[in-house]
Chains A and B, each alone.
Chain A
Amino acid sequence: MIAVLHVKDVHYTYAGFPVLSGVSFSVNKGELCGLFGPNGCGKTTLFKCCLRFLALHKGTVHMDGEDVSRKPVEALAKIVSYVPQEHKPPFPYLVREVVLMGRTPHLGGLFGVKKKDKEIALDALDQLEISSLADRPYNQLSGGQRQMVLIARAIAQDTPIMFLDEPTSTLDFHNQMKIWEIMRKITEEGKTILACSHDPNHVAWFCDRVIVIANAGVVADGHPRDVINEEILDLIYKDTCSVRSNDGVRMVMPRCITEKKERCSPVSAAEQPYDSCKGTNPKT
């Protein structure tokens, strides 16, 4: 296994408050790695440190065997692409133009948008089945549509490593599944993806690897079947989740629902109306 992303002992402090203290992990080539953790645990900060938006206070980040802090911005953009959570530019660039911007690191000389680059941009739109949006102004789309466009832009950038910051957070169920399927396909081509997500089911179902961040450090790192369990979820979400298995597929469910169901289950939970368990506090 070749580690293409290697994060070692990263520290970052914001206004005297340690956001990351001693985060270390590495991701192998071709892995779809989920980054998982509660709000405010430092996932986005970790992304920004890896991508050099923020200067590390301590530690190193290596991508493709090279220290990112020594790489010029132009060279780094050929190694790693980034899908931000949400942003809205002030100018009405067309969707096709926004996706074409993904080709920037590969453009030679001062001008040089080539025919090939435009074709790659259109292919990326095709791959996400959003070619119909090509001529719409990007800043007038809905949040979910914009997210799809940014993913298309990262695909057009064609880098060995991709960082996605909550790529499915504003998408409908159909598009969420589509994006995870596409991410799986991309990793099968030998690319490496690091994606943040807040949905434990998504990371359990689709990722090869999960890194759980909490309290400014890594609390678990491994295959989803070893990581997404009640012990870890209780640790980061304070007793709100239960893990159940349904035909061999692991499901993370809210504890309040499972406990109700289990208490009522002797009478057959499926037919039991939800209301009949109402008012009973599972803790008592």
Chain B
Amino acid sequence: MGYDDVGGFSEYKKILILFFIAVLLFATALAAIVMGKYGFTVMDVYRTVFIHMTFGDISNIEKLNNTIIWDIRAPRILLTIFVGGALAIAGAVFQGVFRNPLVEPYILGVSSGAAFGAALGIVFPAIFFSLQLSAFAFGSIAVAVAYLLARVRGETPVVTLILAGVIVGSIFAALVSLLKYLSTDAALREIVFWMMGGFYYATWNDVRILVPVVTIGFIILWALGWKLNILSMGDDEARTLGVNPEKYKFIVIGIATAITAFAVSLVGIVAWVGLMMPHASRILLGPDNRYVIPASFMMGGIYLMICDTLARTLTNAEIPVGIIASILGAPYLCYLLRNKGRVIFG
């Protein structure tokens, strides 16, 4: 993959950092699965997961352990990792392609568009039979509209892009409100809870939908990491360096929108992960996307896992994870604005 060490291209150090993040991801997952109203030991978890993984006799496990560890916590934790990872790599991709370290799925209106698509699916299940596809369709419309709206004389300046995202986001938010107004009580309740973001109903079924899509998207985007570096230099330069900007932008934006829409359609809106994690990855590893993509994925997983564990352990009742993620993310954004604002806004 071109990671070998030549005269100061310090690749080994970066691989070591990636490895540490992977260890941290594993440790966080283990901590998250042990924590909760019913405390378990690491041994309990190991035994339960081991028997399931080796298709052993499930009756050997205590019933309570099996239900809570395997049926409730395991899928939930897997889902948080893949949702956090998906949002983070989508953020890294949008930042690279739009040449702006401040964009993310939420700011560009992708999340709102996808939320509207999913809400349509909840209110009119007969027409929009698949929540995921409907979310993907409207997420794509949102990003396309925001991008076209922001384009001035062949360029997409930072400020117009963010403003366009705000406009698109508010239109879709209004449309979601309209749907809420029109919907029945049951559907309304479902939309409201789902919009706040949460993993309460995480099942193995959700994992089966999300994990393959995100894994494939992740592998393709990682493989295109170097091309993403070139795209972030601008269209004309990408062209002279042999990377067709139209073609590759279409591919990477398509994948990033798809994985965002799938994640949003399953757990609702979780803001800021896509902005913070790529930024933090760049601080650790530099801007090379061959490292930023895997690091963002794992760090997004770690971050959302921490948020979700707080969400379910902080109080007796559960707090929607979207709320926790926004509150935890705000200080980081304040830091970015105060310290890096001039660099980002020019």
Contact = CB atoms under 8 A, between A and B. Distances in A.
A140 B39 CA distance: 51
Contacts of A53: 235-236, 239
Contacts of A84: 236-237
A74 B287 CA distance: 24
Interface in B1-48: 1-2, 4, 6-9
A101 B230 contact: yes
Contacts of A192: none
Interface in B214-237: 223-224, 226-227, 229-230, 232-237
Given A111-B1, A111-B223, A119-B6, A92 B286 contact: yes
A78 B234 contact: no
B223 A89 contact: no
Interface residues of A, number: 43
Interface string A100-131: 11101101001111110111001000000000
A101 B1 CA distance: 15
A89 B346 CA distance: 12
Contacts of A80: 240
Interface in A177-235: none
A130 B96 CA distance: 27
A96 B287 contact: no
A96 B2 CA distance: 14
B244 A73 contact: yes
B242 interface: yes
B242 A78 contact: yes
B288 interface: yes
B6 A122 contact: yes
B242 A77 contact: yes
B2 A112 contact: yes
Given A91-B101, A111-B1, A82 B240 contact: yes
A93 B241 contact: no
B8 A97 contact: no
A73 B8 contact: no
A248 interface: no
Contacts of A107: 226
Interface string B282-299: 100011100000000000
Contacts of A73: 239, 242-244
B100 interface: yes
A135 B8 contact: yes
Taking each of A76, A90, A94, A114, which has the highest tally of chain B beta carbons within 10 Å of its own beta carbon? A90
Contact of A90 (B4, B7, B9, B232): B232
B84 to A, nearest CB: 22
B226 A113 contact: yes
Contacts of A118: 6-7, 9
Contacts of B8: 96, 122, 134-135
Contacts of B235: 53
A72 B234 contact: no
A107 to B, nearest CB: 7
Nearest to B344: A90
Given A77-B240, A102-B241, A93 B288 contact: yes
A105 to B, nearest CB: 4
A93 B240 contact: no
A65 B243 CA distance: 22
A101 to B, nearest CB: 6
Interface string A259-272: 00000000000000
Nearest to B245: A73
B236 to A, nearest CB: 5
Interface string A61-84: 000000000001111111011101
Given A77-B240, A77-B241, A110-B224, A87 B6 contact: no
A91 B4 contact: no
B241 A157 contact: yes
B105 to A, nearest CB: 18
B227 to A, nearest CB: 8
Most buried by B among A74, A111, A135: A111
Contacts of B244: 72-74
Given A89-B99, A91-B101, A93-B287, A111 B226 contact: yes
Contacts of A97: 229, 286-288
Contacts of B6: 115, 118-119, 122
Contacts of B236: 48, 51, 53, 82, 84
B239 A51 contact: yes
Contacts of B9: 96, 100, 118
A91 B239 contact: no
Q: Which of B9, B96, B101, B282 has the most CB of A within 10 A?
A: B9
Interface in A130-172: 134-135, 157
A52 interface: yes
28 contacts: A51-B239, A52-B239, A53-B239, A73-B244, A76-B242, A77-B242, A77-B243, A84-B236, A87-B233, A87-B234, A91-B232, A91-B282, A92-B286, A92-B287, A93-B286, A97-B286, A101-B241, A104-B227, A104-B241, A104-B243, A111-B223, A113-B2, A114-B2, A115-B4, A118-B7, A122-B7, A134-B8, A157-B241
Interface of A: 48, 51-53, 72-78, 80-82, 84, 87, 89-94, 96-97, 100-102, 104-105, 107, 110-115, 117-119, 122, 134-135, 157
